[in-house]
Amino acid sequence: MTKTLFEKIWNSHLIDEQDGRSLLYIDRHLVHEVTSPQAFDGLRMNKRKVRRPDLTFATMDHNVPTNNRSLPIVDQTSAMQIQALERNCKEFGIQLFDINSPNQGIVHVIGPELGITLPGTTIVCGDSHTSTQGAFGAFAFGIGTSDVEHVLATQCIWMEKPNTFEIKIEGKRKNPHAVTAKDIILSIIREIGTGGGVGCVFEYKGEVVSEFSMEQRMTICNMSIEGGARAGLVAPDEKTFQYLKGRRYIPKNYDEYVEYWKENLKTDSGAKFDKSFTICTDKIVPQVSWGTNPAMTVDVTGSVPFAEEYAKGNPEEEKAANRALQYMGLKPGTPITDITVDRVFIGSCTNSRLEDLIEASTIVKGKKVSPKVRAMIVPGSQNVKKQAEEIGLDKIFKDAGFEWRESGCSMCLGMNPDILATGERCASTSNRNFEGRQGTGGRTHLVSPVMAAAASIYGHFVDVREMDLN
């Protein structure tokens, strides 16, 4: 019988089935400081051990300040959470990439970078953007703290089998430097809605996905959760195998694995998906979110919509749109390119990898950040930062007036010192524009790294297709 890639990974990890749910084996568990303390407390309370410390990896990313790391952490509650992770990893024998480690970084950036993320595996982490790692053909998904404790104790998890949802990305982009993976995933969410993928795992397919670099695949898989899906997958190919080759934690007999992956990790032709959606990229232009969820997004060539126009006759959508317009301080009909920004944030597990920074630097090189804008670059990991510095990106950004920071989640989620002030408007390469996400009363516009970089120079959104991107 023909099977999808997801079904193959699922079947190969299935331990038991009962009462309509399945017990699934977990190959890799990534842990960070915010969603793990109660899980470790639970283990201690019940005198349990971590079943597979060798398959568990930890780092601190959510809370960490991204400025000078030689200074103590000012916020005491953050410092305590970070120290708790250090203690817990030591006590339970878990490999930790601590705040001073050259391998520290956003958990979903370092997983792939260190070769912890492998094709065909199951990966969990107490973070919804674990979906990022599906770019390698892994079933990678976010879990809450109770499940973190359950996986630490047992290395498996109860699940209801998700449905499969095929997303075909077809067509030919005229300018792939200006119309990026970020613009494509925002366009997909715009079409299917924030709940479109609830109960599903996406598999991204089609010629555009094959052309995508691993970084671009990670960007689209990352935002699968914003379309409601627990996970997103891309079948591994030569690019995947080349990306991982030589990385620190890949298996010793890597080439044998590659042979197995080539043979087994693809959706059989004729395999049936529960749902399917096709997007053609020919006409996609750079995207800018205007509202308070990622589906509230328009073309950069468009205007802030009127609530009734956005709602298409749905009274609840109209109410939501009116609330979003008010929160965002936007007047319907305003051309997107007339919207000025106070802050620019290039970072987060969506867009903080080396390629993202290289793309942004092509816009910034030789120019100056608008005097009205405060702009920052937060590399996804210390390794990304180092590689960027080796090719001189730090100099390009700093010369232009950007702040060049240490790695972490930073301004994506407003729980470390990098936050927006009330009313501040930000062009952000992150993944969520929810109310208060980047700080109470902060206003987030989701964009690609090149769009964010361009906004930093001009002080308002511009259509990057009109700029020289070479």
Partner 1 sequence: MKGSVIKYDKDDIDTDVILPGPYLKIHDYGELAKHAMEGLDKDFHKRVKPGDFIVAGRNFGCGSSREHAPIALSYSGIKAVLALSFARIFYRNAVDGAFLLPIEIEENAYKDISDSDFLEIDISKNEIKNLTKNKTYKMKPFPELVGKIISAGGLFNYKP
Interface residues with partner 1 (CB under 8 A) are 16, 18-21, 34-35, 37-38, 42, 46, 62-63, 75, 77-78, 80-81, 126-128, 142-147, 149-150, 158, 160, 194-195, 198-199, 225, 228, 230, 293, 316-317, 319-320, 323, 413-415, 432, 434-437, 440
If the CB atoms of residues 176 and 199 are measured against partner 1, the closer one turns out to be 199
Pairwise CA distance, residues 303 & 330, whole Å: 10
Q: Which is nearer to partner 1, 115 or 126 (CB)?
A: 126
Q: How far is the CB of 46 from partner 1 (least distance, A)?
A: 8
CB 146, min distance to partner 1, A: 4
A 10 A CB-CB count for 441 gives 14
- Nearer to partner 1 by Cβ, of 222 and 361: the residue is 222
First to last CA, the chain: 48
Closest CB 323 distance from partner 1, rounded Å: 8
Rounded distance between C-alpha atoms, residue 417 and residue 411, angstroms: 8
Task: Write out the DSSP string of 102-119.
Answer: TT-B-HHHHHHHTT-S-T
**CB of 45 vs partner 1, minimal distance in Å:** 10
Contact by Cβ (8 Å): 140, 132: yes
Give me the least distance between CB of 451 and partner 1, in Å please. Answer: 23
Angle of helix 145-154 versus helix 37-45 axis, rounded to 10: 50
The CA-based angle 249-253-259, given to 5 degrees, is 110
Choose between 274 and 390: whose C-beta lies nearer to partner 1: 274
CB-based contact 342:373 (threshold 8 Å): yes
CB contact at 8 A, 376 and 347: yes
Token pair belonging to 338 = 């007339």
Give the nearer residue to partner 1 in terms of CB position, either 4 or 63.
Answer: 63
3-state secondary structure of 141: strand
Nearer to partner 1, 301 or 440 (CB): 440
- Give CA–CA dist 110/130, Å, rounded: 11
161 or 365: whose CB is closer to partner 1? 161
Least separation in angstroms between CB 37 and partner 1: 7
